[in-house]
């Protein structure tokens, strides 16, 4: 931890000064105005919060600390976490240091397994995963230090400590949930010498003779790590943490949002849709068949999962990265071929349908086919994989927020009566 903590300790005083001066000079200037339609419309496009770890320009897609995600696909997830927190990629020694921190802290307290074992056997894997995180709240260093009375300027240190402890354990917990929930046999203990992503792949127990599943897992964890601050999971965890709730409360809360079908659960829905296509047409359909299937989905009042986005207006570069991996490693797999064909047909259908503001694929459109190829066929587990990765984004955002001393969130809501009065309606 020395390196990441030292790096943050070096950066934080300068960053605090920068924001203080910026606010003193420009704090009164306006950056956004709000229409009534936005107040009723999920606050789309309202700029009213700060997130420095990443941004999503609608015409480009995810930039992590200014670097396009497409340029980071060969990195380890641990490098991405360091980048999210500090704005810089780690040097070789710093990466080794962070990997050792994760390895040293990966053991999961025994009571977590007991709680999971006591849950109904048909519990959703996301509910099991989020419960495991919440039940570990008792481990929070932040809460203990807060109860002892720590200075506000020190908040980020135990927050970092909690986040490292939590992130280190997530692959172990997630793999344990997989094996328990889907009857895969005993839990597999972590290997101390494996990196975070490869260890997760190893503990799942998926056969991986050539190491490509581990490679895919690292890519998966890199691509899902963060997506600026306004999405449901990031915003929820940020809001909860702003009350000085610790990382266990805040990450669990954020992931409960990720478990919704319009957000992280979409990846389970996507592959389900693709498998339905495969089953119905007994293989890869023709263009016409696929077009008709897409129309049937829309006409039955459902969305086409994996397509559209609240912010993006181009093909999600994370989808592009998964597609490139699929083309390299599984071009002959019919499920991957269907996913690829969907990309050539569905945007046209959605454009003709005329509702979705963005007819292009998001990250969830491609990831499931890759997991399926490697034998991870339990769709309801897919959002847990997403969660392990997205926890890095939530944690980095919380560390930065505590470092900068950002206050409790409290936007103002309005009644319909008040809104009507404002416009004389």
Residue positions annotated with a catalytic role: 263, 309, 364
In which region does residue 283 sit, left (phi positive, over 0), alpha (psi from -120 to 50) or beta (all else)?
Answer: left
Closest approach of ligand HAX to the CB of residue 106, in Å? 26
Q: How many residues would you count in the chain?
A: 425
Handedness of CA 344, 324, 254, 409 (dihedral sign): negative
Q: How far is the CB of 224 from ligand HAX (least distance, A)?
A: 8
* Selected binder of ligand HAX within 102, 178, 307, 372 (CB under 6 A): 307
What does each C-alpha distance from 278 to 166, 271, 380 come to in angstroms? 39, 10, 19
Strand 63-64 to 54-55 pairing: antiparallel
Give min distance, CB of 353 to ligand HAX, in A: 7
310 touches ligand HAX (CB under 6 A): yes
Q: Out of 7, 181, 187, 309, point to the residue binding ligand HAX (CB under 6 A).
A: 309
Q: What is the chain's Cα-based Rg?
A: 22
Window 210 to 249, contacts with ligand HAX (CB under 6 A): 231
**CA distances for 289 relative to 157, 277, 284, 366, 368, angstroms:** 57, 9, 10, 20, 22
Is residue 364 a contact point for ligand HAX (CB under 6 A)?
yes
Comparison of 190 and 366: residue with beta carbon closer to ligand HAX? 366
CB-facing half-sphere around the CA of 194: CA atoms within 13 A: 20
39 binds ligand HAX (CB under 6 A): no
Assess contact for 409 and 48: CB atoms under 8 A: no
Nearer to ligand HAX, 86 or 362 (CB): 362
Scanning 91-99, 244-252, 358-366, 372-380 for contacts with ligand HAX by CB under 6 A, the matching segment is 358-366
**Candidate ranges 15-23, 163-171, 306-314, 373-381; the one touching ligand HAX (CB under 6 A):** 306-314
Strand partners, 133: none
- When asked if residue 319 is in the footprint of ligand HAX (CB under 6 A), the reply is no
For residue 358, state whether it binds ligand HAX (rule: CB under 6 A): yes
Which neighbouring-strand residues pair with 68? 63
Residues 6+ apart with CB under 8 A from 18: none
**Which range in 46-54, 193-201, 261-269, 411-419 contacts ligand HAX by CB under 6 A?**
261-269
Calpha distance 170→380 (Å, rounded) = 17
314 binds ligand HAX (CB under 6 A): no
Measured distance CA(200)–CA(272) in Å, rounded: 24
Residue with the two structure tokens 């936007």: 411
Our CB check for ligand HAX shows the closer of 212 and 292 to be 292
Among 229, 306, 326, 366, binds ligand HAX (CB under 6 A): 306
CA distance 80 to 64: 8
Pick from 23, 262, 419, 421 the residue near ligand HAX by CB under 6 A: 262
Answer yes or no whether residue 165 interacts with ligand HAX by CB under 6 A. Answer: no
Q: Which of 65, 263, 318, 373 binds ligand HAX (CB under 6 A)?
A: 263
Among 125, 190, 230, 308, binds ligand HAX (CB under 6 A): 308
The single residue among 35, 114, 351, 357 that binds ligand HAX, judged by CB under 6 A, is 357
With CB under 6 A as the contact rule, the residue among 176, 197, 229, 305 that binds ligand HAX is: 305
- Residue 351 binds ligand HAX (CB under 6 A): no
CB atoms within 10 A of CB 199: 25
Question: With contacts defined by CB under 6 A, how many residues of the chain interact with ligand HAX?
Answer: 20
Measured torsion, CA atoms of residues 274, 279, 283, 286, in degrees rounded to the nearest 10: -70
- Under the rule (CB under 6 A), what is the footprint of ligand HAX? 231, 262-264, 266, 298, 303-310, 355-358, 362, 364
């Amino acid at each position: 931890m020395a390196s990441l903590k030292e790096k943050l300790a070096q950066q934080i005083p300068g960053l605090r000064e920068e924001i203080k001066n910026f606010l003193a000079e420009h704090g009164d200037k306006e950056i956004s105005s709000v229409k009534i339609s936005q107040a009723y419309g999920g606050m789309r496009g309202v700029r009213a919060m700060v997130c420095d770890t990443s941004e999503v320009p609608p015409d480009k897609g995810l930039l992590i600390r200014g670097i396009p995600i497409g340029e980071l696909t060969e990195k380890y997830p641990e490098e991405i976490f360091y980048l999210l927190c500090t704005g810089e990629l780690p040097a070789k020694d710093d990466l080794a240091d962070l990997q050792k921190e994760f390895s040293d802290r990966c053991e999961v307290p025994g009571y977590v397994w007991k709680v999971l074992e006591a849950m109904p056997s048909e519990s959703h894997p996301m509910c099991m995963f989020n419960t495991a995180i919440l039940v570990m709240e008792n481990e929070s260093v932040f809460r203990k230090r807060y109860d002892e009375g720590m200075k506000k300027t020190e908040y980020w240190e135990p927050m970092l400590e909690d986040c490292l402890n939590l992130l280190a354990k997530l692959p172990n917990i997630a793999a344990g949930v997989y094996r328990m929930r889907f009857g895969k046999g005993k839990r597999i203990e972590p290997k101390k010498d494996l990196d975070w992503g490869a260890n997760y792949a190893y503990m799942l127990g998926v056969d991986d003779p050539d190491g490509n599943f581990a490679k895919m897992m690292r890519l998966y964890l890199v691509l899902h790590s963060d997506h600026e601050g306004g999405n449901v999971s990031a915003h929820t965890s940020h809001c909860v943490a702003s009350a000085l709730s610790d990382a266990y409360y805040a990450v669990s809360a954020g992931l409960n949002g990720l478990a919704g079908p319009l957000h992280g659960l979409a990846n389970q829905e996507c592959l389900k849709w693709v498998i339905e296509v495969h089953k119905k047409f007994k293989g890869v359909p023709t263009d016409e068949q696929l077009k008709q299937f897409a129309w049937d989905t829309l006409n039955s009042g459902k969305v086409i999962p994996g397509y559209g986005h609240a912010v993006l207006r181009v093909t999600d570069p994370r989808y592009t990265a998964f597609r490139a991996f699929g083309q390299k490693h599984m071009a002959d797999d019919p499920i991957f071929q269907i996913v690829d064909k969907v990309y050539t047909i569905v945007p046209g259908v959605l454009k003709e349908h005329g509702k979705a503001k963005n007819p292009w694929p998001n990250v969830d459109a491609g990831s499931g086919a890759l997991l399926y190829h490697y034998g991870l066929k339990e769709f309801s587990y897919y959002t847990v994989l997403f969660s392990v990765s997205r926890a890095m984004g939530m944690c980095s955002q919380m560390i930065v927020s505590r470092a900068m001393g950002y206050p409790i969130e409290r936007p103002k809501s309005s009644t319909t009566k008040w809104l009507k009065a404002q416009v004389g309606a």
